[in-house]
Amino acid sequence: MDATQIARVADLLLVAQHAVALTGAGISTPSGIPDFRSGQAGLWKQHDPMVVASLAGFRASPQTFFGWFRGLARQMVEAEPNAAHYALATLEARGLLHSIITQNIDLLHTRAGSQQVYELHGCIRQLTCMRCFKQFPAAPFLKAYLDDPTMSVLTCPTPGCAGQGILKPDVILFGEQLPARVLAAAQREIRQCDLLVVAGSSLEVYPAADLPRRALAQGASLVIINREPTYYDQHARLVLRGDLVEVLPQLVSAVEARQAW
């Protein structure tokens, strides 16, 4: 990676008043979590998303969803934050990054120490009963589900449901609206930002893909760090190609060197 490019991003961070990061699947693939769409690791290579991961599909056949979800859930539970996650947490701790808006559901930003994280597509932190709408911490249910290969669905333990309610992970499925409060908060961050750093997102999935447009429209600088080209590259102040687990720690080092001057 060109050190000059990284230095220029570091300079932008140091003068920004309200820098925000937008992250996608590319920041978590080094932790072993596959991208839903790209390459041979894409989770839709052998599955129709409208069957296994849509809200209508979940309601019609939760067993099909949980049969598909088992492998992904195990990967997320066993994954550890990588150097890119920790680098963004360090930038936030140093007061140079105000928040992270993420399309990921894996909780790795929070586990790396980031405090202000907006999870646009939900997360695996909680489960919600589709019958009584009570919410539960996901960890004990996921452990039982992963430990018992015969468990076909997760059911609500409340007496009123008596095992009749199906627990759905609080992740956004196809055909489901994004969480309104989180989306509104993310859009507020974009309105306030003067620098948006996109890390590991193809910027193809809306409404997340509209956030760079909003940032540019109100005068913010745009930096894109991604392995592959995106639609917004031509509009970005800087575009860096490379592995995020290398680029983002180098960016932290560049910032720290300048702050030490």
What does the pLDDT look like over 57-114, one tens digit per residue? 999 999 999 998 998 899 999 999 999 999 999 999 999 999 999 999 999 999 999 9
Give the rounded percent of residues in the chain with a pLDDT score beyond 90: 77
The pLDDT value recorded for residue 204 is 85
Could you tell me whether strands 135-137 and 122-129 are parallel, antiparallel, or unpaired per DSSP bridges?
Answer: antiparallel
Mean pLDDT value across residues 110-133? 96
Least confident of 25-29, 32-36, 102-106, 134-138: 32-36
Residue 176 makes CB contacts below 8 A (sequence gap 6+) with 54, 55
Q: Which of 85, 98, 109, 121 is catalytic?
A: 121
Q: Could you report the per-residue pLDDT of 182-215, keeping only the tens digit for each?
A: 999 999 999 999 999 999 998 888 889 999 999 9
What's the rounded Cα separation, in Å, for the pair 27 and 162? 40
Is the predicted pLDDT of residue 45 greater than 60, yes or no? no
The pLDDT value recorded for residue 259 is 81
The pLDDT mean for the chain works out to: 91
The pLDDT value recorded for residue 253 is 96
**Closest C-alpha to 165, from 62, 51, 56, 50:** 62
Write down the CATH superfamily of domain 39-78+123-171: SIR2/SIRT2 'Small Domain' (3.30.1600.10)
Give the rounded percent of residues in the chain with a pLDDT score beyond 70: 93
- With cut-offs at 50, 70 and 90, classify the pLDDT of residue 47: low
| Record: fold of 1-33+81-121+178-261 | Rossmann fold (3.40.50)
Q: Could you report the per-residue pLDDT of 7-29, keeping only the tens digit for each?
A: 999 999 999 999 999 999 999 99
98 catalytically annotated: no
Is the predicted pLDDT of residue 252 greater than 90, yes or no? yes
- With cut-offs at 50, 70 and 90, classify the pLDDT of residue 48: low
Instruction: Compute how many other C-beta atoms are within 10 angstroms of the C-beta atom of residue 133.
Output: 9
Q: CATH 3.30.1600.10 in the chain: give the residue spans.
A: 39-78+123-171
The pLDDT value recorded for residue 43 is 53
Mean pLDDT value across residues 35-39? 59
Do 129 and 165 meet the contact criterion of CB atoms below 8 Å apart? yes
Residue 146 makes CB contacts below 8 A (sequence gap 6+) with 70, 73, 74, 77
Residue 136 makes CB contacts below 8 A (sequence gap 6+) with 126, 127, 128, 129, 156, 157, 167
Q: CATH 3.40.50.1220 in the chain: give the residue spans.
A: 1-33+81-121+178-261
Do 140 and 125 meet the contact criterion of CB atoms below 8 Å apart? no
- With cut-offs at 50, 70 and 90, classify the pLDDT of residue 49: low
**pTM for this predicted structure:** 0.92
Is the predicted pLDDT of residue 175 greater than 60, yes or no? yes
Who has greater pLDDT, 7 or 2?
7
